[in-house]
Chains A and B, each alone.
Chain A
Amino acid sequence: MHEPSRRRFSLGIDIGGTFTDIVVYDHVQGRRFSRKVLTTHDNPSRGVVEGVDRVLAEDGVPAAEIGRVVHATTLFTNAMIERKGAVTGLVTTAGFRDALEIGRERKYELYDVHIEKPKPLVPRHLRAEVPERMDARGAVRIPLDEAALETVVDGLVHDGVTSIAVAFLHAYANPAHEHAAAAVIARRFPDLAVSTSSDVAPEIREYERTSTAVANAYIKPLARTYLDAIAAQLARRGIAAPLLLMISNGGLTHVEEAKRVPVQLLESGPAAGALAAAWFGAEDAGGDVLAFDMGGTTAKLSVVDGGKPLVAYHFEAARQKRFAEGSGLPIRISTIELIEIGAGGGSIAHLDVIGLLKVGPESAGSEPGPAAYGLGGAKPTVTDADFVLGYLNPDFFAGGSMAIDMAAAHAAIAEVANEASLSVEQLAWGIHDVVNENMASAARVHIAERGKDPRRYALLCTGGGGPLHAYYVAKKLNLKRIVCPSSAGVASAIGLLIAPAKVDRVATVAQRLDALDWAEFEATFARLEADARRVVGETGLDPATARIERMADIRYVGQAFEIVVDLPPGPYNACSLPELMVAFETAYVEKFTRTPPAVSVEIINVRVLVAAPVPGGELAIRAAARIAAAPIKGYRRMYFPEWSEHREAPVFDRYAMAAGDSFEGPGVVEERESTLVIGPGATFRVSESGNLVVDLP
Chain B
Amino acid sequence: MTANKEHRAVSSPAFDAVTLEVIWRRMISAADEAGKTLQRTSFSTLVNESNDFACVLTDARGQSLVQNTDSIPSFIGSLPITVKHFLEVIGVDDMAPGDFLVCNDPWVATGHLNDITIAKPIFRGGRLIGFAASTAHAPDIGGKVRSVVAREVFEEGFHIPAMHLMRRGEPDATLFKLLRAAVRTPDQTEGDIWAQVTGLNLMESRVHELMDEYGLANLDAFAAEIHGRCETAMRKAIAGVPDGRYEHGLTTDGVGHPFTFKVTVTIDGDRCIIDYTGTEAQVGRAINCCMTYTFAMSAYAMKAALLPDLPNNEGIFHTIEVTAPEGTIVNPRRPVAVGGRMATGHYLPPLIFGALAQVLPDKVMAAAGSPLWSIIQTGVDAAGRTYANTLFFNGGTGATAKVDGQNCFSWPSNISNVPIELVERNTPLFVGMKRLRDGSGGPGRRRGGLGQEIEITVESETAVGIIFMAERLTYPAQGLNGGEPGALGEVLIDGRPTDVRADHVLTKGQTITLRTPGGGGFEDPTGREVDLHDADRRAGYA
Task: Give me the interface of A with B, judged by CB distance under 8 Å.
Answer: 94-99, 101-107, 110-117, 123-125, 135-136, 169-170, 172, 204-208, 351-358, 420-422, 426-427, 429-430, 433-434, 437-438, 441-442, 444-445, 448-449, 451, 510, 556, 558-561, 591-594, 596-599
Q: Is the CB of B16 within 8 A of A125?
A: no
Q: Is the CB of B435 within 8 A of A558?
A: no
Q: Is the CB of A599 within 8 A of B229?
A: no
Closest to A356 in B: B21
* A107 vs B71: C-alpha distance when bound (angstroms): 11
* A441 vs B310: C-alpha distance when bound (angstroms): 18
Given contacts A98-B434, A206-B419, A426-B18, contact A594 B198 (CB under 8 A): yes
* A114 vs B400: C-alpha distance when bound (angstroms): 7
Additional A-B contact list (5), CB under 8 Å, known A205-B421, A441-B29: A113-B363, A114-B403, A125-B539, A136-B425, A356-B229
List B contacts of A106 (CB < 8 A).
Answer: 51, 409-410, 414-416
Q: Is the CB of A95 within 8 A of B455?
A: yes
List A contacts of B394 (CB < 8 A).
Answer: 105
Q: Is the CB of A351 within 8 A of B17?
A: yes
Q: Does more than half of chain A's interface fall in helix, strand or loop, or is it mixed?
A: loop
* Nearest CB of chain B from residue A534's CB, rounded to whole Å: 29
List A contacts of B300 (CB < 8 A).
Answer: 111
Closest to B408 in A: A102
CB contact between A422 and one of B17, B32, B304, B363 (< 8 Å): that residue:
B17
Given contacts A593-B198, A598-B187, contact A445 B18 (CB under 8 A): no
* A669 vs B73: C-alpha distance when bound (angstroms): 49
List A contacts of B539 (CB < 8 A).
Answer: 123-125
Given contacts A445-B32, A596-B191, contact A116 B40 (CB under 8 A): no
Q: Is the CB of A204 within 8 A of B16?
A: no
Decide yes or no whether B49 CB sits under 8 A from chain A: yes
Decide yes or no whether B309 CB sits under 8 A from chain A: yes
Query: In residues 15-59 of chain B, which contact A (Cβ within 8 Å)?
Result: 16-18, 20-22, 24-26, 28-29, 32-33, 36-37, 39-45, 48-49, 51
* Nearest CB of chain B from residue A327's CB, rounded to whole Å: 12
List B contacts of A592 (CB < 8 A).
Answer: 37, 40-41, 198
List B contacts of A556 (CB < 8 A).
Answer: 43, 191
Q: Is the CB of A445 within 8 A of B36?
A: yes
Q: Is the CB of A558 within 8 A of B41?
A: no
CB contact between B420 and one of A101, A169, A449 (< 8 Å): that residue:
A169
Decide yes or no whether B417 CB sits under 8 A from chain A: yes
List A contacts of B40 (CB < 8 A).
Answer: 449, 561, 591-592
List B contacts of A204 (CB < 8 A).
Answer: 419, 421-422, 425
* A97 vs B432: C-alpha distance when bound (angstroms): 12
* A588 vs B500: C-alpha distance when bound (angstroms): 42
* A441 vs B45: C-alpha distance when bound (angstroms): 28
Decide yes or no whether B260 CB sits under 8 A from chain A: no
List A contacts of B419 (CB < 8 A).
Answer: 204-208
* A422 vs B420: C-alpha distance when bound (angstroms): 56
Q: Is the CB of B434 within 8 A of A437?
A: no
Question: 3 shortest A-B CB distances, which residue pairs?
Answer: A95-B433, A430-B18, A448-B33
Given contacts A97-B435, A560-B49, contact A422 B424 (CB under 8 A): no
* A124 vs B307: C-alpha distance when bound (angstroms): 35
Q: Is the CB of B406 within 8 A of A117?
A: yes
Q: Is the CB of A558 within 8 A of B230?
A: no
List A contacts of B304 (CB < 8 A).
Answer: 110-113
List B contacts of A107 (CB < 8 A).
Answer: 409-411, 414
* Nearest CB of chain A from residue B398's CB, rounded to whole Å: 8
* A561 vs B416: C-alpha distance when bound (angstroms): 14
Closest to A599 in B: B187
Decide yes or no whether B211 CB sits under 8 A from chain A: no
Q: Is the CB of A111 within 8 A of B303?
A: yes
* A111 vs B416: C-alpha distance when bound (angstroms): 17
Q: Can you pick out 24 interface pairs between chain A and chain B where the beta carbons lie within 8 Å of each other?
A: A94-B433, A96-B433, A101-B436, A102-B436, A105-B408, A110-B73, A111-B308, A112-B308, A114-B403, A135-B424, A135-B430, A172-B421, A204-B422, A353-B233, A420-B16, A420-B18, A426-B16, A430-B17, A437-B25, A445-B33, A559-B48, A560-B49, A594-B194, A599-B187
- Mask, B417-445, CB within 8 Å of A = 1, is 10111101100001011111000000000
* A653 vs B310: C-alpha distance when bound (angstroms): 45
* A608 vs B5: C-alpha distance when bound (angstroms): 62
* A116 vs B190: C-alpha distance when bound (angstroms): 37
List B contacts of A123 (CB < 8 A).
Answer: 538-539
Q: Is the CB of A510 within 8 A of B233?
A: no
List A contacts of B233 (CB < 8 A).
Answer: 353-354
List B contacts of A427 (CB < 8 A).
Answer: 17-18
Decide yes or no whether B517 CB sits under 8 A from chain A: no
Chain B CB within 10 Å — which of A107, A205, A433, A556 has the most? A107
Closest to A141 in B: B430
Decide yes or no whether B365 CB sits under 8 A from chain A: yes
* A379 vs B86: C-alpha distance when bound (angstroms): 48
Q: Is the CB of A114 within 8 A of B191?
A: no
List B contacts of A103 (CB < 8 A).
Answer: 408
Query: In residues 304-336 of chain B, which contact A (Cβ within 8 Å)?
Result: 304-305, 307-310, 312
Q: Is the CB of B21 within 8 A of A357?
A: yes
* Nearest CB of chain B from residue A590's CB, rounded to whole Å: 13
List A contacts of B190 (CB < 8 A).
Answer: 596-597
Decide yes or no whether B497 CB sits under 8 A from chain A: no
Decide yes or no whether B188 CB sits under 8 A from chain A: yes
Q: Is the CB of A206 within 8 A of B48?
A: no
* A148 vs B156: C-alpha distance when bound (angstroms): 50
Q: Is the CB of B187 within 8 A of A558?
A: yes
Closest to A449 in B: B36
Closest to A600 in B: B187
CB contact between A560 and one of B24, B45, B187, B403 (< 8 Å): that residue:
B45
List A contacts of B223 (CB < 8 A).
Answer: none
Decide yes or no whether B82 CB sits under 8 A from chain A: no
Decide yes or no whether B139 CB sits under 8 A from chain A: yes
* Nearest CB of chain A from residue B78's CB, rounded to whole Å: 15
* Nearest CB of chain B from residue A108's CB, rounded to whole Å: 9
* A658 vs B425: C-alpha distance when bound (angstroms): 62
* A115 vs B368: C-alpha distance when bound (angstroms): 13
Given contacts A355-B17, A357-B18, contact A136 B421 (CB under 8 A): yes
* A429 vs B21: C-alpha distance when bound (angstroms): 13
List A contacts of B24 (CB < 8 A).
Answer: 356
Q: Is the CB of B365 within 8 A of A113?
A: yes
List A contacts of B422 (CB < 8 A).
Answer: 204-205, 560
Given contacts A101-B407, A354-B233, A449-B36, contact A96 B22 (CB under 8 A): no
Decide yes or no whether B452 CB sits under 8 A from chain A: yes
- Mask, B358-381, CB within 8 Å of A = 1, is 000001110000000000000000
Decide yes or no whether B127 CB sits under 8 A from chain A: no
* A592 vs B312: C-alpha distance when bound (angstroms): 28
* Nearest CB of chain B from residue A39's CB, rounded to whole Å: 34
Closest to A170 in B: B421
* A442 vs B69: C-alpha distance when bound (angstroms): 12
Q: Is the CB of B18 within 8 A of A422?
A: yes
* A560 vs B436: C-alpha distance when bound (angstroms): 26
Q: Is the CB of B424 within 8 A of A170?
A: yes
- Mask, B289-310, CB within 8 Å of A = 1, is 0000000000010011101111
* Nearest CB of chain A from residue B441's CB, rounded to whole Å: 13
Q: Is the CB of B26 within 8 A of A441?
A: yes
* Nearest CB of chain A from residue B531's CB, rounded to whole Å: 14
* A356 vs B422: C-alpha distance when bound (angstroms): 44
* A183 vs B456: C-alpha distance when bound (angstroms): 31
Chain A CB within 10 Å — which of B26, B190, B406, B421 has the most? B421
List B contacts of A98 (CB < 8 A).
Answer: 434-436, 452
Query: In residues 481-512 of chain B, which contact A (Cβ within 8 Å)?
Result: none
Q: Is the CB of A113 within 8 A of B187?
A: no
Decide yes or no whether B402 CB sits under 8 A from chain A: yes
Q: Is the CB of A420 within 8 A of B17?
A: yes
Given contacts A96-B420, A110-B71, A444-B33, contact A356 B17 (CB under 8 A): yes
List B contacts of A208 (CB < 8 A).
Answer: 419
* A597 vs B534: C-alpha distance when bound (angstroms): 57
